[in-house]
A and B are shown apart, each in its own frame.
Chain A
Amino acid sequence: MSAAPTLEVDNLKTHFFTKAGVVKAVDGVSFHVNAGEILGLVGESGSGKSITGFSILGLIDPPGLIVSGAIRFKGEDLATLNEERLRSLRGNRISMIFQDPMMTLNPVLRIDTQMVETVLAHENIGRKAALERAREALALVGIPAPERRLVAYPHELSGGMRQRVAIAIAFINKPDLVIADEPTTALDVTIQAQILFEAQELCRKTGTAMVWITHDLAVIAALADRIAVMYAGRVVEAGTADEVIAHPLHPYTHGLLGSVPTRNQRGTRLTQIPGMTPSLLNLPDGCAFAARCPRVAQQCCEQQIPSQQILGRSVRCCKPLVAEAVA
């Protein structure tokens, strides 16, 4: 950790002011990503991981609002930038890959049109050079015969191929940061493995920092350098991928890892985390996980649990599983 991280999110709070009340979708999230590094942002549905991604891009629409916190990207605080400046960063220095490749490409425009569009929106290099850049980008993500794919329409490509195109578009302007919002969820496992491999390669090669949002721990274990586990709008545990997966400190991470089906559990009932994620409209005063936690204590319900450093990780828990991790 010599140079400053590419992205540093500090105590970010994104709230939605609905008629039913304030939804604290993201409520004090902090993490950082370095150049060439992949951060896995893990959590259940509704834990605020996607909203965190959109907050970084500045694409939170009313009634949502970034209430407080800083998003430092290469020395600029994205949370305070105007729309004009944000737009020049989007798709250029920061880009995004979405979950469903069937939906994210425009069905009536050819692949080359969509790719050239992205280049020309940020650089004035002429159509021909942009087209050449598009061809290179397709080749880079391992698409065979890129010339033929360029003139294809999205419906002529398979799901995996489309996601590769989406990734190529995300990387076309050589961004410093890519936010991937569950990009492999809609794909077959074999395709998923290929895409993961290519994403990892691209990051290493180009020095692009990546935030990989997912609920799939198996994916993250194979891919990420570091992991931040989110629960109810907060990061409950963050550390290197190997450590967090081998020895989770937070009971929630522990439960999450326990619910992953494995081969040797055949026939036995899977462990579950009892209960449901709390309503973001009405979060408890203390630890949001207290109601479902097997190690819950009196103090958990009384006040907010601050983030503390244990064994080189940050953990939001007053009764972390330190003994198990050390043993």
Chain B
Amino acid sequence: MSIAEAPIAAKPKAVVETPFRRFASEYLESRVAAFALGLMMVLIGLAVLAPWITPQNPYDLAQVDVLDSRLPPGTKSSGNYTHWLGTDGAGRDLLSAMIYGLRISLIVGVMSGLIAMIVGTAVGMTAAYTGGRVENLIMRIVDLQLSFPAILLALMLIAVLGKGIDKIIIALVTVQWAYYARTVRGTALVEARKEYVEAARCLGLSSPRILFKHILPNCIAPLIVVATVQTAHAIALEATLSFLGVGLPQTEPSLGLLISNGFEYMLSGKYWISFFPGLVLLVTIVAINLVGDQLRDVLNPRLKR
């Protein structure tokens, strides 16, 4: 009650309101988005820690017994451990194969997303910077690219390039860079009209410097949004390619390939081989998309409350 004791309790904690902190608190306002982010972290954690947490190494043929194939969930195997989610057609422990498959799917998704972002940003910035004929040419190529169905283009490329993770990534980058290029160019053109760019010109800074040091950091927000959505897309596309049997080799199955492997046994009641990988794929993509949606809401100044 007395004045003397008040200051000690009322001393404010030195919380510095950094842009990141404010961004984080705004993001976590949505429970669903926070949950999705947590889920995404768990999935990434699983994929990263795969060799240490899986009961079996599905790539090691010595640990896989064909006699154990298509065991239902919860069965004890010849190796005397329990296959909690059953085994697939080749006798691999499905839980282990799924975690390894998730790993491949995420690597493919993130790598292709990252490379496509770098390529797309470079191209988009070049278009915004040069203007005129070069910009027209670049943007028509982007339009052409976007008018093709992604799956068709990816199939064509894989058919030419062959199988393998690197080939899949190349195909996905080719399919996706245009989205980034279009986004970056649009944002950069809007930013370039703003007064701080005029001010930077008045300071005598060179054009490339203004473009990369002043305009590009202001384009990051929409880029992050496109990147999350496109990464989810890339994972789905890779699963589709693998399901169609043109993606990855049979010995290193991704989620899509696992689904494809179990597909033929669905009608004979052995649902688990396709069902569980399908579930994980679905959850992964939904989680990433939810995170992307929330990022878009938080990072879009027009939706600011």
Q: Which residues of A are at the interface with B, using a C-beta cutoff of 8 A? A: 57, 59, 87-92, 95-96, 98, 100, 103-109, 117-118, 121-122, 153, 155-156, 166, 169
Contacts and interface: CB of A to CB of B under 8 A. Distances in A.
Instruction: Give the interface size class of chain B.
Output: 20 to 34
A208 B222 CA distance: 42
B217 interface: yes
A325 B283 CA distance: 84
18 contacts: A90-B201, A90-B204, A91-B204, A91-B205, A92-B204, A103-B195, A103-B196, A106-B196, A106-B214, A106-B217, A107-B218, A109-B214, A117-B205, A117-B213, A121-B209, A122-B204, A155-B19, A166-B199
Contacts of B195: 98, 100, 103-104
A72 B213 CA distance: 33
Contacts of A103: 194-196
Tell me whether chain B's interface is mostly helix, strand or loop, or mixed: helix
Contacts of B194: 103
A92 to B, nearest CB: 6
A156 B22 CA distance: 12
Given A59-B198, A109-B213, A109-B217, 4 more contacts: A87-B204, A90-B204, A109-B214, A153-B19
Nearest to B201: A59
A236 B229 CA distance: 60
Contacts of B266: none
A106 B192 CA distance: 11
A90 B203 CA distance: 5
B213 A96 contact: no
Contacts of A153: 19
B218 A108 contact: yes
Contacts of B218: 106-108
Nearest to B219: A108
B134 interface: no
* Best-buried of B198, B199, B214 by chain A (most CB within 10 Å): B199
B206 interface: yes
A87 B206 contact: yes
B200 interface: yes
B8 interface: no
B160 interface: no
A106 B214 CA distance: 7
B299 to A, nearest CB: 12
B196 A121 contact: no
Contacts of A88: 204
A92 B206 CA distance: 13
A121 B214 contact: no
Interface in B1-50: 17, 19
Given A96-B199, A98-B199, A89 B214 contact: no
Nearest to A122: B204
B152 interface: no
A89 B202 contact: no
